[in-house]
Amino acid sequence: RMEPVKHWEHGHLFQYQPTEHNQRLMERLLKLGPYQKPLWYSKHIFSMWPGGAYRLGKEGTLKRERLCGSDGGAFAADWAEPTKVVYACPPVLVILPGVGGGERSVKMENFGWMAASLGWRTVILRHRGW
Protein backbone atom coordinates (compact mmCIF):
# COMPACT_ATOMS: atom_id res chain seq x y z
CA ARG A 1 0.00 0.00 0.00
CA MET A 2 1.36 3.39 -0.98
CA GLU A 3 1.45 6.20 1.55
CA PRO A 4 -0.42 9.33 0.47
CA VAL A 5 1.64 12.29 -0.67
CA LYS A 6 1.05 15.53 1.26
CA HIS A 7 1.84 18.72 -0.58
CA TRP A 8 1.32 22.32 0.59
CA GLU A 9 0.87 24.91 -2.14
CA HIS A 10 -0.68 28.39 -2.03
CA GLY A 11 -1.80 27.81 1.55
CA HIS A 12 -3.73 24.63 0.71
CA LEU A 13 -2.98 21.01 1.54
CA PHE A 14 -3.20 18.53 -1.32
CA GLN A 15 -3.19 14.88 -0.32
CA TYR A 16 -3.25 12.10 -2.91
CA GLN A 17 -2.06 8.60 -3.69
CA PRO A 18 1.15 8.80 -5.77
CA THR A 19 -0.19 7.08 -8.87
CA GLU A 20 1.01 8.14 -12.30
CA HIS A 21 -2.41 9.61 -13.12
CA ASN A 22 -2.59 11.61 -9.86
CA GLN A 23 0.94 12.95 -10.29
CA ARG A 24 0.17 14.15 -13.84
CA LEU A 25 -3.02 15.76 -12.57
CA MET A 26 -1.16 17.46 -9.72
CA GLU A 27 1.45 18.87 -12.11
CA ARG A 28 -1.32 20.38 -14.24
CA LEU A 29 -3.14 21.80 -11.21
CA LEU A 30 -0.02 23.49 -9.87
CA LYS A 31 0.54 25.24 -13.22
CA LEU A 32 -2.76 27.05 -12.69
CA GLY A 33 -1.31 29.14 -9.87
CA PRO A 34 -3.12 30.36 -6.77
CA TYR A 35 -6.91 30.53 -6.72
CA GLN A 36 -8.29 33.99 -7.40
CA LYS A 37 -11.78 34.72 -6.09
CA PRO A 38 -14.20 36.04 -8.73
CA LEU A 39 -15.02 39.74 -8.42
CA TRP A 40 -18.63 38.93 -7.56
CA TYR A 41 -17.67 36.56 -4.73
CA SER A 42 -19.26 37.33 -1.39
CA LYS A 43 -19.16 35.60 1.97
CA HIS A 44 -22.81 36.55 2.47
CA ILE A 45 -25.75 34.26 1.76
CA PHE A 46 -27.22 35.09 -1.67
CA SER A 47 -30.79 34.85 -0.39
CA MET A 48 -30.10 37.79 1.91
CA TRP A 49 -29.71 40.06 -1.13
CA PRO A 50 -32.78 42.35 -1.01
CA GLY A 51 -32.88 42.79 -4.79
CA GLY A 52 -34.02 39.19 -5.12
CA ALA A 53 -37.38 40.10 -3.63
CA TYR A 54 -38.38 42.30 -6.57
CA ARG A 55 -39.69 40.90 -9.83
CA LEU A 56 -37.40 41.82 -12.70
CA GLY A 57 -40.22 41.58 -15.20
CA LYS A 58 -41.54 38.72 -17.27
CA GLU A 59 -38.57 37.42 -19.21
CA GLY A 60 -40.29 34.62 -21.07
CA THR A 61 -42.19 31.43 -20.58
CA LEU A 62 -40.88 28.50 -18.62
CA LYS A 63 -41.14 25.18 -20.44
CA ARG A 64 -42.41 22.52 -18.03
CA GLU A 65 -41.13 18.96 -18.26
CA ARG A 66 -43.06 16.31 -16.32
CA LEU A 67 -40.86 13.71 -14.64
CA CYS A 68 -41.91 10.46 -12.99
CA GLY A 69 -40.04 8.85 -10.12
CA SER A 70 -39.47 5.12 -9.82
CA ASP A 71 -42.35 4.98 -7.32
CA GLY A 72 -44.75 6.64 -9.78
CA GLY A 73 -44.68 10.04 -8.04
CA ALA A 74 -44.68 13.04 -10.35
CA PHE A 75 -42.55 16.15 -10.14
CA ALA A 76 -41.65 18.85 -12.62
CA ALA A 77 -38.66 20.65 -14.06
CA ASP A 78 -39.27 24.15 -15.44
CA TRP A 79 -36.74 25.17 -18.09
CA ALA A 80 -35.74 28.73 -18.96
CA GLU A 81 -33.94 28.73 -22.28
CA PRO A 82 -31.19 31.27 -23.02
CA THR A 83 -32.46 34.58 -24.36
CA LYS A 84 -29.38 34.94 -26.57
CA VAL A 85 -26.89 32.54 -28.13
CA VAL A 86 -23.58 32.80 -26.30
CA TYR A 87 -22.32 29.22 -26.18
CA ALA A 88 -22.41 26.47 -28.81
CA CYS A 89 -23.26 24.07 -25.97
CA PRO A 90 -24.67 26.25 -23.16
CA PRO A 91 -23.95 25.40 -19.53
CA VAL A 92 -26.88 24.22 -17.42
CA LEU A 93 -27.77 25.75 -14.05
CA VAL A 94 -29.91 23.52 -11.81
CA ILE A 95 -31.83 25.44 -9.13
CA LEU A 96 -32.96 23.40 -6.14
CA PRO A 97 -35.33 25.56 -4.08
CA GLY A 98 -34.97 25.18 -0.36
CA VAL A 99 -33.27 27.37 2.22
CA GLY A 100 -33.06 30.36 -0.15
CA GLY A 101 -36.78 30.37 -0.87
CA GLY A 102 -39.65 28.22 -1.99
CA GLU A 103 -40.02 26.92 -5.50
CA ARG A 104 -42.42 29.76 -6.43
CA SER A 105 -40.16 32.40 -4.91
CA VAL A 106 -39.57 35.47 -7.04
CA LYS A 107 -35.86 35.12 -6.18
CA MET A 108 -35.71 31.65 -7.73
CA GLU A 109 -37.28 32.78 -11.00
CA ASN A 110 -35.19 35.98 -11.13
CA PHE A 111 -32.05 33.92 -10.59
CA GLY A 112 -33.10 31.59 -13.41
CA TRP A 113 -33.84 34.43 -15.82
CA MET A 114 -30.58 36.21 -14.97
CA ALA A 115 -28.65 33.04 -15.87
CA ALA A 116 -30.72 32.60 -19.05
CA SER A 117 -29.92 36.19 -20.07
CA LEU A 118 -26.22 35.25 -19.87
CA GLY A 119 -26.71 32.34 -22.26
CA TRP A 120 -27.21 29.53 -19.73
CA ARG A 121 -29.95 26.91 -19.83
CA THR A 122 -31.68 26.99 -16.44
CA VAL A 123 -33.94 24.45 -14.77
CA ILE A 124 -35.90 24.88 -11.54
CA LEU A 125 -36.83 21.54 -9.99
CA ARG A 126 -40.33 21.59 -8.52
CA HIS A 127 -41.47 19.51 -5.56
CA ARG A 128 -43.47 16.34 -6.01
CA GLY A 129 -47.16 16.63 -6.69
CA TRP A 130 -47.00 19.94 -8.55
Query: Above 50 in pLDDT, residue 84?
Result: yes
Average of pLDDT values for 110-128? 83
Cα 94 from chain centroid (whole Å): 6
Taking the whole predicted model, whether its pTM rises above 0.75 is answered as no
More confident site: 123 or 127:
123
Answer yes or no: are the C-beta atoms of 106 and 53 closer than 8 Å.
Answer: yes
Asked if residues 115 and 81 have their Cβ atoms less than 8 Å apart, the reply is: no
- What residues form DSSP beta bridges with 121? 92
Q: Are residues 83 and 120 in the same domain?
A: yes
User: Which one has a higher pLDDT value, 122 or 62?
Assistant: 122
Mean of the pLDDT values across residues 107-117?
Answer: 80
Cβ proximity of 77 and 65 under 8 Å: yes
Residue 81: band (very low, low, confident or very high) from pLDDT cuts 50, 70, 90:
confident
- pLDDT at res. 103: 63
Q: Which of 37-46, 47-56, 116-125 has the highest mean pLDDT?
A: 116-125
Please give the residue range of the domain that contains residue 58.
46-125
Query: Are 23 and 56 members of one domain?
Result: no
Is residue 99 a part of any domain in this protein? yes
pLDDT confidence of residue 56: 47
Q: How far is CA 123 from CA 9, 44, 61, 64, 74, in A?
A: 37, 24, 12, 9, 16
What is the per-residue pLDDT for 23?
86
DSSP SS3 for 92? strand
**Do 68 and 93 belong to one domain?**
yes
Is 130 contained in some domain? no
> What is the pLDDT averaged over residues 1-27?
80
